[in-house]
């Protein structure tokens, strides 16, 4: 692992994330709001640090609310997203060299990411706030995963 990546993991107190990489929640709003998508109360907003080192990926997953990715440090980050019905796929790159520091993944879109270098540190802000009960990994839905394998074979390694 790159020395700076390990320093950030230690300094920020990051822990392994189920989708890959390392994370730590740094903010959870005390304000509760009714989520229209899950029909339950959620924190108005949450924010995490998320780090991918070389060779790690953020596996295909979805969350119930909009997620804003913010590039903080390191190599560019390639983000992939699939519409909820899997009809469209797009890729976006967070890259300081070209002034692209943010990308929004809409609620319920499938998303995956990979560092384009030694490591990438980002922040992920979710509103209404993230809750693991609203989190779904594509690998846990075999029929949906099979469709991604068939329709987007170039992205199947991210499952």
What's this model's pTM, rounded to 2 decimal places?
A: 0.94
Which pLDDT score is estimated for 129?
96
Domain boundaries, the chain: 3-158
Which pLDDT score is estimated for 61?
97
Q: Residue written as tokens 């199947």?
A: 156
Share the mean pLDDT of the chain: 96
CATH number of 3-158: 2.60.120.10
Tens-digit pLDDT profile for residues 90-109: 999 999 999 999 999 999 99
Q: Give yes or no for a contact between 117 and 143, defined as CB atoms under 8 angstroms apart.
A: no
* Torsions phi, psi for 124 (to 5 deg): -125, 120
Which pLDDT score is estimated for 46?
98
pLDDT at 26 > cutoff 90: yes
Reported as a pLDDT band with limits 50, 70 and 90, residue 1 is confident
Mean pLDDT, rounded, for 114-140: 97
Which pLDDT score is estimated for 159?
86
Tens-digit pLDDT profile for residues 39-52: 999 999 999 999 99
Name 65's Cβ contacts closer than 8 Å, sequence gap at least 6.
35, 37, 42, 107, 126, 127, 128, 129, 130, 134
């Amino acid at each position: 692992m790159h020395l700076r990546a390990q320093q950030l993991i230690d300094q920020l107190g990051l822990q392994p994330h189920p989708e890959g990489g390392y994370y730590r929640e740094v903010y959870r709003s005390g304000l509760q709001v009714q989520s229209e998508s899950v029909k339950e109360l959620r924190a108005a907003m949450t924010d995490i640090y998320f780090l991918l080192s070389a060779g790690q990926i953020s596996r295909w997953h979805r969350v119930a609310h909009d997620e804003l990715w913010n590039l903080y440090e390191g190599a560019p980050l390639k983000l992939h997203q699939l519409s909820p019905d899997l009809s469209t796929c797009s890729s976006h790159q967070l890259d300081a060299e070209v002034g692209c520091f943010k990308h929004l993944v809409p609620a319920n879109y499938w998303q995956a990411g990979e560092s384009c270098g030694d490591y990438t540190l980002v922040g992920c802000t979710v509103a209404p706030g993230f809750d693991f009960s609203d989190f779904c990994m594509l690998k846990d839905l075999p029929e949906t995963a099979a469709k991604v394998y068939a329709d987007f074979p170039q992205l199947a390694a991210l499952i």
